[in-house]
Amino acid sequence: VQLQASGGGLVQAGGSLRLSCRASGRTISRAGMGWFRQAPGKEREFVAAIGRNGGNIQYADSVKGRFTISRDNAKNTVTLQMNGLKPEDTAVYLCAADYQAILTWVPDIGGERFEVWGQGTQVTVSS
């Protein structure tokens, strides 16, 4: 399976972007999906995750109320709607899949249990 993230770009503070992660080669319907980000010189950081059936949604405190994760299993796609962007949201955003997810899945916010990773898309927020 391959994950292709897209939708990044340059936006002013307060603006919005919509990131998409499209899987190919295998359905994501049995995978818990997550978004992470990594800024230059910083460690990878959990952003949001969603369970197999669209439940078990979890957000990092830093993005709660601003970001929304969703999925469309029929289209093999996970989306991250980002509103109210701040300069500190600047990072490469990566999507990832955990194919060991069960219906009561709790996402591993450290990322170690996500087996498949996409290449990332750059988000830059100017002040």
Torsion of CA 47, 22, 122, 80, to 10 degrees: -40
Residue 56, pLDDT above cutoff 90: yes
Instruction: Kindly list the distances between the CA atom of residue 12 and the CA atoms of 6, 15, 35, 43, 126, in Å, as whole numbers in the listed order.
Output: 18, 6, 21, 24, 5
CA distance 78 to 14: 23
d(CA 113, CA 127): 35
- How high is the pLDDT of residue 103? 78
pLDDT at 101: 84
Q: CA nearest 125: which of 14, 6, 44?
A: 14
pLDDT in tens, 57-106: 999 999 999 999 999 999 999 999 999 999 999 999 999 999 988 878 88
The pLDDT of residue 106 = 87
